[in-house]
Structure 1
Amino acid sequence: MPAQSHGSALPPFLLTRPAAQNVRFAARLRGRFGEAIRIVQSPLFEPRFLAPEIPDQDFRGVVFTSETGVEAFERLGIPAKGRAWCVGDRTAEAARRLGFDAISAGGSATELAQVLARLNGPLLYPRARHTAVDLGAALKDTETRICETIVYEQFPLPINEEANRLLVTSATLVAPLFSPRSASQFAQSDAVLDRRAQLFAPVMSGAVAKALEPAHPERVVVASRPDVVSMLAAIADLVATPGQP
């Protein structure tokens, strides 16, 4: 879809994903809404990579639920070979670049669990310390066995000064939120709780919306699917609504 020309008329966007994802999503926003939009980036987390021992076992394949998980796996120095089952297209692309024969589940951990339930493992699952969906629990009544190994954690960061100024000087702002943990971190920030701006939040799922409730956002729009394309559509619906930002 070509960029729309009303960028300068839109409220500013506050992006809180890890830095690399922020940069990529900012480019998607400008492609959709025009180069004139104002974007402030304030990552709420940064990855800290760990170096656990990987069990010496003949795994049928690897499971990835994030691009960061793929990067963490690469840092372990383990050869990338065989099949990788991935939560979504972007994660699958990262796994392919590493050398895996990667399959995408289409965008959600629930869909990934449904795919994995048809396998019988064993599968290696290098993951974050905190995850939105417990794959082990989702698969406990199936024949699929996964070996969960924590390879990174997301270290929380405070909202930066530019974002603080935005929260107190803007009449409205749009803050897309992608995970329950990031929404919870955002909602509990003093800068958000003490804001003067009206907060409009396109969110990836109902669980993200629930985590954001303590911030009392003025409006929340839930994406139709847990992917970037649907988030962009949710933002378009939000900013196009008469009487809204």
Structure 2
Amino acid sequence: MSRRMRFYAARRRLCHHNCFPAQELSECGPFKPPLHAFDLAGNTEARRKQCRGVAKAVQKIPVILTRPKGSNSVFKAGIAPNVRDRLEFIRSPLLEITPIEQSADCSGAQHAIFTSANGVKLAPNGNGRRAFCVGRKTTELAQSHGWDGVFAGATVTGLKEYVLTQQPQGEIHHYSGVFVRGNVAKELSAAGLNVMNVPLYDQRLLPFSAEALAVLQAKTPVIVPLFSPRTAAHFGAMAPAHPKLYIIAMSSAVADSLEEIAVSQLMVAQEPTAKSMAVCVEYLILNDSLG
């Protein structure tokens, strides 16, 4: 990997011609100062028009959406409109969520652990029982499904530490997919808690869509946000060599799963949230980082 960046991106940028800081490419500043202000900076009216001309000529940058169907709306909505207008979203889910049948009753536990929204959607109704959740969105979703949802951390590691401090008594079910990262049930059980993993869905790997593959085989810049270690590993195994590949990883664990794939830039979100991922996209576009 050529570069890895952890950052919290500012939303403001400088125009190509060193004009005043601007939030939109269509202007050379968030306000229109007197012309003499531009003259003092060496920016004439003609150059201001040139700035606008550059913005209009910019090609849309493809962004490959790798999350399962129906999981991209929060991420896309979090991108500022002036940036979103410069992007071309290409759907290519690399995972398909498939519910699986349970051979035994899995609804009788006193507590639950949720490390994904899919676990919440397929689990029994909470009926007021306590649920320890990873992420704010998963917590809110659990609450809407009848659970007494508690935000237990932004990562699986944080959740395990939090649950151990709470020492919940009785049976705990970790509702998850077939492929689980972090050994939640095993590690908490080893620490003395009664935790059982209950897989509710399979995560079937998918190939690239035809449109995504065409973009990856081209020479133009492409942005690929990756939200899970398994998706990242799958992407790295399939992706052809690309001279201008910009990857945004939701966490260090996601970035590490890419192994030795060559990228122009690898960015790790400040927080493992869709909003932080959106900020990374804004940074790439507004700071002219794409070659």
Normalised to the residue count of structure 1, the TM-score between the two structures is 0.86
Aligned length: 237
Secondary structure of the structure 1 residue equivalent to 2:175: strand
1:62/1:124 contact within 8 Å kept:
yes
2:80/2:282 contact within 8 Å kept:
no
Cα distance in 2 for partners of 1:23, 1:243 equals: 25
Match among 39, 63, 70 for residue 13 of structure 1: 63
Task: Flag the 1:71–1:130 CA change in 2: closer, same or farther, 3 A.
Answer: same
Match among 120, 142, 145 for residue 168 of structure 2: 120
Which residue pairs with 1:186 in the alignment?
235
Task: Flag the 1:151–1:66 CA change in 2: closer, same or farther, 3 A.
Answer: same
> After superposition, where does 1:82-231 map in structure 2 within 5 Å?
82-118=129-165, 119-121=167-169, 122-189=171-238, 192-194=239-241, 196=242, 198-231=244-277
* Structure with bigger gyration radius: 2
Percent of pairs with identical residues: 26
Structure 1: stretches of 5+ with no match in the other structure: none
1:108/1:226 contact within 8 Å kept:
yes
Q: CA deviation at 1:142?
A: 2.3
Secondary structure of the structure 2 residue equivalent to 1:33: helix
| Bigger helix share | 1
Task: Flag the 1:55–1:115 CA change in 2: closer, same or farther, 3 A.
Answer: farther
Taking only aligned residues, the RMSD between alpha carbons, in angstroms, comes to: 2.5
Cα distance in 2 for partners of 1:133, 1:32 equals: 38
1:132/1:179 contact within 8 Å kept:
no
Q: CA deviation at 1:34?
A: 3.1
Q: CA deviation at 1:143?
A: 2.8
Which residue pairs with 1:62 in the alignment?
112
Q: CA deviation at 1:83?
A: 1.2
Cα distance in 2 for partners of 1:171, 1:211 equals: 24
Q: Higher relative contact order by CA 8 Å / sep ≥ 6: 1 or 2?
A: 2
Cα distance in 1 for partners of 2:199, 2:115 equals: 12
Structure 2: stretches of 5+ with no match in the other structure: 1-10, 13-22, 26-54
